[in-house]
Amino acid sequence: MKKLQLTLIALLLSSMISAQNNFAEKYGRTLNMGLGIGYYGYVGYSIPVLHANYEIDVAKNFTIAPFITFYSYKNDYYWGNNRKPYRYYKYSETVVPIGAKGSYYFDDILKASPKWDFYLAGSLGFVIRRTLWDSDYEGIKTVRQGTGPLYIDLHVGTEYHFNKKAGLFLDLSTGVSTLGLALKL
């Protein structure tokens, strides 16, 4: 069984490498690193965000990019009960979305200059959260009650190429918008 799994993985990897060669690696093999802001209604303000992904060509004008994002913030919550007086309790939360972003590039349709890329994308993944509360807080410790660990985001973006190895991108999305450096590897 393991031999079959290894064979299937080898075939999948070789077909991905072959696909990259067939599509001239126009968009893929790019490391994108950005800083940005995310706005989350339950926090009530914008949050600084770090983001990185690595694009791989899959088909003509289409890439898949494994990604990781990081943000952390502090907030407070008004709570009390019969044993504890009502007051503001502080907490800090660190959130790390991990997943894959699929991007479709419209450069051919828009007849864009080789210096520019334009795309629409969607991200799918999961979220790792770590929340720390004041030690005397005894209430419900889930910050976003009723939400699961699923991460979904929609994007529209552009990249300007300084040269064949480096560019600057702007990615606007429904959750995290980033500005950053794109490095062709």
CATH class, domain 25-184, is mainly beta
Please state, in angstroms and as integers, the Cα–Cα distance from residue 24 to each residue in 21, 61, 103, 148, following that order: 5, 10, 16, 39
All structural domains of the chain with their residue ranges: 25-184
Residue 93: other Cβ atoms inside 10 A:
19
- Measured CA to CA, the distance from residue 148 to residue 44 in angstroms comes to 20
Tokens of 170: 């702007």
For residue range 27-62, what is the model confidence (pLDDT) as tens digits? 678 999 999 987 665 566 788 999 999 999 999 999
pLDDT for the residue numbered 87: 92
Which pLDDT score, from 0 to 100, does residue 19 have?
A: 43
Q: Which helix (H) or strand (E) holds 21?
A: helix 2-22
What integer is the mean pLDDT of 120-132? 92
Neighbours of 48 (CB within 10 A): 12
pLDDT band at 174 (very low <50, low <70, confident <90, very high): confident
DSSP 8-class letter at 104? E
